[in-house]
Chains A and B, each alone.
Chain A
């Protein structure tokens, strides 16, 4: 066991929800609490490297109905860093192929005595549906193109680490907004914290309707680059598109790839994010992805911090499954 000193300092509490389903319905204070909690865990674990035991005895299930390596690994590591047990459950190894509904699958897992479900699914709203049918905490790890709240939080966390306050910061979200859950979670989180959001990409991927939410829509990357403090370059999700929304990858890259030339016209302290996996040469060229302003690797580390915070807030303050009500005060479960 690592030295438990960090464990004995209370971690933030007061999460008013059972689940983390999306950022759209959270208050600015909810989001600040999530970010502050993540910061505390990043600090207490020496940059997400050290292990704590605040979730010892808890079991977290990764219920992934869609392929994922990064997010699942990140959630698994985050849970283990806090001392929880982790079970991976993927659709291919499940009884779904035998015709069982996903609600039944989740209920079966719940009956085995688990504390939280981290769910990824190709269909929007699936975590919300699970939350209606399960008593344990449900954490959305991406529901189709709808939301990916921990990704949004870790992007915002990474910006906040560099910029302090988000208020007044101009963030350009560039690329496949139509199919991007990262874009939606970023959008809600950024707007709630007072940032200015510009959505940029071709009209087939960036609807003018977004303006109804008070965000700016642009189809011209060159026009917005000089105004942005942050650019978040979103992957083209070829797998979710009915018909190709642009003539060719070559044309897309010509219009929307973040290149060294475009970087020259940007603010000196521009920050570059990409939620990965990135298509090098499509959304971003290799030299830009690896430049000093790129936070791409920070994002990965911060993903652990955010997920530790989320797991702590959603299931660390409730009694472990199968026990009487928690008697320990929040943050002191050893």
Chain B
């Protein structure tokens, strides 16, 4: 494989407390060293990338991606979804198991791994179902799924509704030290809802999904995690009150982590004014106060990481009446731009915190040996131009779908190169 030298970038690796201009040397797919560019030049390499002006980070990890395969290949496939990932700067994704069939058996996990190997783009970590067939009735074969390589468990798309089953899942997963990634929603409270319940839904006459529908379930799952000692990871937190619940649980020492999605710290329910189904997702876009609370949660670490909830839907499915259109939007190819624009360029967080939220902590929560540029680590590396201003164009997306509300937005910050296992898998414009 030879050597690859990434020269002169701003290397940001929170796992080692590094934030300095430096060179990174890769050999045979592994990080060899981060040199001291001035005093200890790393010498010549087979290939050199000039990273001057770029941020060099351990490869970004999106721990919440719907690749849709198997079952809904009209929306996305493992191949197109992972191509979208590397175009967005992600070297790893965790795929959520609400496929058809759901990922609740060793053979389905194996299928995903094989397809991912064939696509040969980025790492695909598999999240297994909490319940068999995602029906919420009995536990899936969690131990066997762990053996097959599942890194976490989730029935996302829906909550684990039965509190007793959720309690058992927390208890059972303890022996594997795996987290349960929870979609938090009390379905009775959100029934028929298409957007956040508030003034905008009232004016538009659209059925609302109150913040309480999310908060009540977050509260339940925190209580169950504390009761059992299990590991709860709250997916796509969207409410200010949800952030508060997680903050106080963490203060009590509960084993709780959380993620937020770029759309939840960028858009509000005002986006629904034009009845655009590309602003329909679950949990829904909420208010400006919620957006501010999400950002505050990212700043103070209450929200550990940023994940996209990349949810492709074929164009014809989204071109329906808003109550018939499915929930969800694309995320992989706009995440870096939205995070830099909304969080870094505004001075709310620095690069080390962003890299921690998009690489270090997702790796830690999933328990995968990624998210670091330590010597000997797999050379998953992302190069980001922090100042590049660019316009989103869904027609240029690698994803098979185009359901993004950010089409034609101008964003700052973009992945320039994505290196997976020491191989340059993506370079902007190449």
A→B interface (CB under 8 Å): 24, 101-103, 121, 123-126, 128-129, 143-147, 179, 181, 184, 207, 209-210, 212-213, 242
Per a CB cutoff under 8 Å, which of A103, A144, A212, A213 touches B205?
A144
**B204 in contact with A125 (CB, 8 Å):** yes
Q: Closest Cβ of chain A: how far from B317's Cβ, in Å?
A: 10
Given contacts A128-B274, A209-B198, A212-B199, contact A146 B205 (CB under 8 A): yes
B198 — which chain A residues lie within 8 A by C-beta? 209
**A146 in contact with B204 (CB, 8 Å):** yes
Within 8 Å of chain A (Cβ to Cβ): is B275?
yes
**A125 in contact with B275 (CB, 8 Å):** yes
Docked Cα-Cα span, A102 to B316, in Å, equals 11
Docked Cα-Cα span, A213 to B200, in Å, equals 11
**Which of B18-26, B321-329, B357-365 makes up part of the contact surface?**
B321-329
Q: Closest Cβ of chain A: how far from B213's Cβ, in Å?
A: 13
**B323 in contact with A123 (CB, 8 Å):** yes
**B202 in contact with A102 (CB, 8 Å):** no
Q: Closest Cβ of chain A: how far from B408's Cβ, in Å?
A: 15
**A147 in contact with B205 (CB, 8 Å):** yes
Docked Cα-Cα span, A145 to B205, in Å, equals 5
Top-9 shortest CB links A-B: A125-B275, A145-B205, A146-B205, A123-B321, A124-B205, A123-B323, A209-B199, A128-B275, A124-B206
Q: Closest Cβ of chain B: how far from A9's Cβ, in Å?
A: 39
Smallest Cβ-Cβ distance to A127: which chain B residue: B275
Within 8 Å of chain A (Cβ to Cβ): is B191?
yes
Docked Cα-Cα span, A212 to B202, in Å, equals 11
9 chain-A/chain-B pairs, Cβ below 8 angstroms: A121-B321, A124-B206, A125-B204, A125-B321, A125-B322, A126-B322, A129-B275, A145-B205, A179-B205
Q: 10 extra interchain contacts, Cβ-Cβ under 8 A, other than A126-B275, A209-B198?
A: A101-B319, A123-B322, A123-B324, A124-B206, A125-B204, A125-B275, A129-B275, A145-B205, A207-B202, A212-B199
**B202 in contact with A146 (CB, 8 Å):** no
Smallest Cβ-Cβ distance to A184: which chain B residue: B205
B203 — which chain A residues lie within 8 A by C-beta? 24, 184, 213
Q: Closest Cβ of chain B: how far from A241's Cβ, in Å?
A: 10
Within 8 Å of chain A (Cβ to Cβ): is B320?
yes
A143 — which chain B residues lie within 8 A by C-beta? 205
Smallest Cβ-Cβ distance to A145: which chain B residue: B205
Per a CB cutoff under 8 Å, which of A103, A124, A181, A207 touches B275?
A124
A184 — which chain B residues lie within 8 A by C-beta? 203, 205
Q: Size range of the interface on B?
A: 10 to 19
Docked Cα-Cα span, A103 to B322, in Å, equals 12
Contact with A along B34-76 (1 / 0, CB 8 A): 0000000000000000000000000000000000000000000
Per a CB cutoff under 8 Å, which of A101, A129, A147, A213 touches B316?
A101
Interface residues of B in 251-304 (CB under 8 A from A): 274-275
A124 — which chain B residues lie within 8 A by C-beta? 204-206, 275, 322
Docked Cα-Cα span, A201 to B213, in Å, equals 25
Q: Closest Cβ of chain B: how far from A21's Cβ, in Å?
A: 10
Q: How many contacts between A and B, using CB within 8 angstroms? A: 54
B→A interface (CB under 8 Å): 191-192, 198-199, 202-207, 274-275, 316, 319-324
**A103 in contact with B206 (CB, 8 Å):** no
Q: Closest Cβ of chain A: how far from B186's Cβ, in Å?
A: 13
Docked Cα-Cα span, A245 to B374, in Å, equals 60
A129 — which chain B residues lie within 8 A by C-beta? 275, 321-322
Given contacts A101-B316, A125-B275, contact A210 B321 (CB under 8 A): no
Smallest Cβ-Cβ distance to A126: which chain B residue: B321
Q: Closest Cβ of chain B: how far from A183's Cβ, in Å?
A: 9
A101 — which chain B residues lie within 8 A by C-beta? 316, 319-320
Docked Cα-Cα span, A128 to B206, in Å, equals 14
A145 — which chain B residues lie within 8 A by C-beta? 205
Docked Cα-Cα span, A268 to B206, in Å, equals 38
B275 — which chain A residues lie within 8 A by C-beta? 124-126, 128-129
Q: Closest Cβ of chain A: how far from B185's Cβ, in Å?
A: 15
Docked Cα-Cα span, A77 to B204, in Å, equals 29
A179 — which chain B residues lie within 8 A by C-beta? 205
Docked Cα-Cα span, A128 to B272, in Å, equals 12
Docked Cα-Cα span, A242 to B213, in Å, equals 15
B274 — which chain A residues lie within 8 A by C-beta? 125, 128
Docked Cα-Cα span, A144 to B192, in Å, equals 13
**A242 in contact with B202 (CB, 8 Å):** no
Smallest Cβ-Cβ distance to B324: which chain A residue: A123
A146 — which chain B residues lie within 8 A by C-beta? 204-206
Docked Cα-Cα span, A125 to B279, in Å, equals 13
Docked Cα-Cα span, A126 to B322, in Å, equals 8
Docked Cα-Cα span, A184 to B206, in Å, equals 12
A213 — which chain B residues lie within 8 A by C-beta? 199, 203
B322 — which chain A residues lie within 8 A by C-beta? 123-126, 129
Smallest Cβ-Cβ distance to B274: which chain A residue: A128
Docked Cα-Cα span, A125 to B273, in Å, equals 9
Docked Cα-Cα span, A24 to B198, in Å, equals 17
Residue of B274, B275, B320, B322 with highest tally of chain A CB at under 10 A: B275
Q: Closest Cβ of chain B: how far from A204's Cβ, in Å?
A: 13
Residue of B192, B204, B205, B323 with highest tally of chain A CB at under 10 A: B205
Q: Closest Cβ of chain A: how far from B193's Cβ, in Å?
A: 10
Docked Cα-Cα span, A24 to B322, in Å, equals 19
Docked Cα-Cα span, A209 to B210, in Å, equals 13
Smallest Cβ-Cβ distance to A210: which chain B residue: B202
Q: Closest Cβ of chain A: how far from B206's Cβ, in Å?
A: 5
Residue of A24, A123, A146 with highest tally of chain B CB at under 10 A: A123
Docked Cα-Cα span, A14 to B207, in Å, equals 36
Q: Closest Cβ of chain B: how far from A105's Cβ, in Å?
A: 12
